[in-house]
Amino acid sequence: MRCLICLKMPAYPKECSECSILLCDTCLIKYVRIKGRNMPLCPHCKTTNVNAFRDVQSNLLREIID
């Protein structure tokens, strides 16, 4: 279980609602700032859904990360 961008354990993880990949909150913010206007929001599944990333929904996954 690693962040797709920094390859470390996700800090304050965000989960893509389309593909369930995890990203650090800070990595996601940096990615959104540097990505081009026509680039997808998720670097994994290429979704363009603005609301694709959310807090981790699974209680078990949250406990493992914590």
* Secondary structure of residue 14 in the 3-state scheme: strand
The pTM is what?
0.72
Percent of all residues in the chain with a pLDDT value above 70, rounded to a whole number = 85
Q: pLDDT > 90: what percent of the chain?
A: 6
How many C-beta neighbours within 10 Å does residue 49 have?
A: 13
Contacts of 21-28 with C-beta under 8 Å, sequence gap 24+, read 21/45, 22/56, 23/53, 27/3, 28/53
Mean pLDDT of the chain: 82
Higher pLDDT, 57 or 10: 10
Residue 48 or residue 8, greater confidence: 8
Q: Give the Cα separation of 26 and 10 in Å (integer).
A: 9
Tens-place pLDDT, residues 31-47: 888 877 778 888 888 88
